[in-house]
Structure 1
Amino acid sequence: MKKIIISGVLGRMGQVLQRAIQNDPGLVIVAGIDAHPEKALPGQIDFPLYQSATELATEFADTADVVIDFSHHSVVPELLNVCVEKNLPVVVATTGLDEDTKGMLAVAAQVIPVFVSANMSLGINVLLKALQAISPALEPDFNIEIIEKHHNQKKDAPSGTALLLADGINDSLTKPKTYVYGRHGLELSNPLDEMGIHAVRGGTIPGEHTVLYAGPDEIIELTHTALSRDIFANGALKAALFLAKQPPGLYAMADLLDAKETN
C-alpha cells in the first residue's frame, strides 16, 4: 500500500487525483494540503487536511511514501523545503514555476527524489520525443509554430506544456529558435529562426496542443488533445510510483518512459 500526500488536494486536479487513488486498492491518501480548506464539503475527505506544508510538517505524525503537488506555483518553495526536511519524495506537477523555484528543485534533488514535468500526460511526452526526432530534419526549410488551447479559467499563457514542447524542440535543433508569443503588426517577416507560440482560451477545453511545421508547399501537424483531466492524474500516479523507488535526483517524464521501455 503506497501512502500519498496531495498538495492542492481541493483544486480541480487534486479532486481528480483523489478519485483515481480511491479507485486503486494499492494506494491511499494519508494527508492533504490546500490553502483553502474551507472549500472542503462535508464528507468530501477522510484524511487529515492542512492549510500549508509547514502546518503539515508540524502536525502530521504519520508516514508517507510520496507527495504529489498540483497546487499553485507560489507555494511550491515551501513544499520543497518541507519535503527535504521530512525526506519525502515529491512529484511537482504545478506549472508557472519561476527561475528561483526551478533552482530550488535542483537543490532539493540533491537530498530527495524530485520528479517535475509541465505535463503529466504520457501521450504529450511521447509526442515530445517524436518532435525531437523529426525537428532536426525539418529545421532548414520549415517554420515551426505551436498553438495551444485551454479552458477559460486557466491563468497562465502560454501553457507550461507549450513551453515544454518548444524547449524540447529547441534542444534538438542546431540553432535554437527565438520564441514569439502571438503575432501582431503590419511589417512582420516571420523568419525561420522564430517559433511562434499562440494561446487560445475558451469554454471548458481541457487542453489541446498542435505543433505545425510549414515548409515550401507542404505542412505537417502533430496534435495532442486531452479529453479529460484523468490522463494527468494517471500520469502523476505513474510518476509517483516510479519516484518512490528512486534515489535522490531530479527526474522527468523521459526517465519514466525510458524505464517503461526497459521493463
Structure 2
Amino acid sequence: MARIGIIGSEGRMGHALERAIAEAGHDCSGGVDRGGDPAALADASDVLVDFSAPGALDANLHAAVGAGIPILVGTTGLEEKHHAALDSAAGAIAVLQTGNTSLGVTLLAHLVREAASRLGDDWDIEVLEMHHRMKVDAPSGTALLLGEAAAAGRGIELAGHCERGRDGHTGARKRGAIGFASLRGGTVAGEHSVILAGTQERLTLAHHAEDRMIFAHGAVRGAEWLLGQAAGRYAMGQVLGL
C-alpha cells in the first residue's frame, strides 16, 4: 500500500483521485490546493500526483525533490519554462509528465505515431478535440500530446509544423502540416480524434472519455509504476511498456 498525496485536491480531478486511490487499495496521505503547503504533503507521502496549475509547478517539484519522492504531473497548459523545470527535477527524482493519464489515450498516441510513421506527408493530419465549457486551455494537453506523437512518427518538430485557429482567407493547407481544432461546450469529459486524410481515403483514430474516473485510475496506475523508478523523466507509454 502506497501513500499518495494529491496536489489540486479540491478540483474535479482531485476528488476523482481520492476515490481512485481508495479503490486501488492505497492510502491518500492528504491533499493541498491553492495556498497549501506541498512540502508538508510530500513529507507525508510516498509519491505525489499533481493536477493543479502551471503556476504552482515550481513549488510542487521543489517539494517532491526536497522529500526525495517521485511525482506524476498531469497539469495541462505547460510552457517551455515548465518543461525545463521538469527536466531539472528529473535529475534528482522520478518525474512522469503527461497531457493525459488515460490508458486508452496512451495507447492511442502510440497508434498515431505508428500511423504517421508509415503514411507519407501527402496524408494530412488533423487533431480534433472537444471538452466541457469550463476548460481554460486550448488545444487541450491531450490534443498536443497526440500532435507530438504524429510529429514524432514523421521525425519532425511539432512547433514548426502545426496550424491552429484558422480563420478568414488562410490559403491552402501546407503539405506536412499538423492541424488542430478545439470545441468547447456542455459537460464533455474529453473527446479526441486524429484524422489522417489521404487522396480518396481517410483514417480516423479516436478516443471518447465517458467518465473522469478513467483519468484518475490511470494516474494511480502511473503513480504505482513510479515507485522504485530511478531518477529521470518518464511518460505514460512506459507505464504500458510501449
Q: Same fold (TM over 0.5)?
A: yes
Question: Alpha carbons of 1:176 and 1:65: their partners in 2 closer, same or farther (altered >3 Å)?
Answer: closer
Residue 183 of structure 1 contacts residue 196 of structure 1 at CA under 8 Å; is this kept in 2? no
Residue 237 (structure 2) aligns with: 254
**Are 1:181 and 2:164 counterparts?**
yes
**Is 1:218 aligned to 2:218, yes or no?**
no
Whether the 8 Å contact between 1:76 and 1:101 is mirrored in structure 2 is yes
Structure 2 unaligned spans of 5+: none
Output aligned runs, 1:114-263, within 5 Å: 114-176=95-157, 178-186=161-169, 188-258=171-241
- Is the 8 Å Cα contact of residues 176 and 193 (structure 1) preserved in structure 2? no
* Structure 2: distance between partners of 1:174 and 1:241: 32
Shift of 1:94: 0.6
Shift of 1:64: 1.7
* 1:4 alignment counterpart: 4
Contact 2:74/2:98 (8 A) holds in 1: yes
SS in 1 for 2:44: coil
Report how many residues are paired. 240
Tell me the SS of whatever aligns to 2:85.
Answer: helix
- Which residue of structure 2 lines up, in the alignment, with residue 78 of structure 1? 59
Q: Structure 2 CA distance, aligned partners of 1:4 and 1:71? A: 15
Letter in 2 for 1:218: E
Deviates more, 1:127-136 or 1:144-153: 127-136
Q: What is the alpha-carbon root mean square deviation over aligned residues? A: 1.6
Post-superposition offset of 1:187: 5.0
SS at match of 1:32: strand
Greater relative contact order (CA < 8 Å, ≥ 6 in sequence): 2
Q: 1:197: how far off?
A: 0.2
Q: Report the TM-score, using the length of structure 1 for normalisation.
A: 0.87
Deviations 1:136-177 (A, max 9, x none): 232232111111000000000000111111011101114556
In the alignment, the residues of structure 1 paired with residue 230 and residue 8 of structure 2 have an alpha-carbon distance, to the nearest angstrom, of 25
Q: Which has the larger radius of gyration?
A: 1
Contact 2:94–2:229 (CA<8 Å) still a contact in 1?
A: yes
Question: Structure 1: any 5+ residue segments left out of the alignment?
Answer: 37-50
CA distance in 1, matches of 2:86, 2:76: 13
Instruction: Write the distance in 1 (CA, Å) between the matches of 2:157 and 2:83.
Output: 21
The question of 1:52 aligning with 2:33 is answered: no
For residues 187 and 149 of structure 1, do their structure 2 counterparts lie closer, same or farther at Cα, with a shift above 3 Å needed?
Answer: closer
Question: CA 1:174–1:66 in 2, change beyond 3 Å: closer, same or farther?
Answer: closer
Distance 2:117 2:29 in 1: 46
CA distance in structure 2 between the aligned counterparts of 1:18 and 1:27, rounded to whole angstroms: 10
